[in-house]
Amino acid sequence: MPEFYEAMFFIVRKMAAVKNRPGGYELLTEKGGRLGEIEASVRGGLGRLLIEGGIGLPRRINVTDLQGRTIVDIRKPFGLKSFSAQILGADGKPMGRVRMGRRAMGMAGQRLEVQDASGKPLGSLVGDWRAWNVQLFDDNGGLLGKIARKAENVNRVIYADVDHYQVELSKPVTGELRRRLLLSVAASLGLLMS
């Protein structure tokens, strides 16, 4: 089975918290086959004292494959308005960064810029993450795909957190590093923005 970042479509579904393990997210195919997982933990002593899910919490987000091997490890520091998170590989070495960019005039929502370890832009996610209306762009501004919400029923869409969101590419993302970083950030969007 391919890695989730090689797929043109995947679903990110929230998992329930189980004993001694906080809730995370599953990465699934369109038919429900498992592709991997995302686990998050609050970092630092102060972060543990804050209520989980609070705005700006420092987080460690670990994206893994089916065998539990780390694909990327995202380290998000504390930040109320903006942040710049480091993306590490399985070996702990820096692979890149994701940072909240400036909003363009007339643009609703936010812009997350994904860069490689040297700071070269690889792409961006632009839109309103609260409404789950986000588009993925390559480094030249070409549209790659979208992230949209998917919930079990209408009441959950309107009144509660989203149980699922889906990442759908309209064209392939070239280069393994770009695919791995851009789609890992897309899959982790809900955790990065909370």
pLDDT band (50, 70, 90) for residue 53: very low
**Distance between CA 183 and CA 99 in Å, rounded?**
15
Query: Does 25 have pLDDT greater than 70?
Result: yes
Tally the residues of the chain. 194
pLDDT tens string 32-41: 899 999 998 8
pLDDT tens string 118-141: 999 999 999 887 777 899 999 999
Could you tell me the pTM of the whole model?
Answer: 0.82
pLDDT band (50, 70, 90) for residue 44: low
CB 48 within 8 A of CB 58: no
